[in-house]
Amino acid sequence: MKKLTALGSIIASLFSATKAFASHSVGHIEIARPQLEGKFVGFKNLGDFIQKTLTLAFIIAVITVLAMLIWGAFEWITSGGDKDSVGKARSRIINALIGLAVLAIAFALFQVAGQFLGFNVLNFNIPEPDQTP
């Protein structure tokens, strides 16, 4: 339950609104972006958030697959010829390779969908609405 509460608060903080102040011109809204040491922090728009989230998810998935491969290889080396240990290590390695194949297929499908729908997968940008009155 504590993990669910923590996850809920993290998600709520990601979607919390920033302050918006109306400028002197009609129809234009300036959004106050937080700064740290003179540099803006946070995401510029929703497309930037989605792109960075997907990139982070793929990086974490690839690191996990590599860790599982190394773990399976270590189990195989240290099994000492025990058939059960070798079988567990072999299944761990096979599952890691299947995971790697699923990641590659998901990335390829995302790129193909991007080509058909007309957006660049590696530079995902959601257009902002027109600000003219």
19-38 exposure pattern, b = at least 16 Cβ within 10 A, e = fewer? eeeeeeeeeeeeeeeeeeee
Mean pLDDT in residue range 27-32:
59
Residue with tokens 């997907």: 54
Tokens (6 digits) for 82? 């025990």
Does residue 54 register a pLDDT over 60?
A: yes
Mean pLDDT in residue range 26-43:
64
Q: What global pTM score does this model have? A: 0.57
For the ranges 60-74, 79-93, 117-131, the lowest mean pLDDT is seen at 117-131
What are the structural domain ranges in the chain?
43-117
Among 21, 18, 17, 50, CA closest to 34: 18
Q: 93 or 52, which is more confident?
A: 93
Q: Are 26 and 106 in contact (CB under 8 A)?
A: no
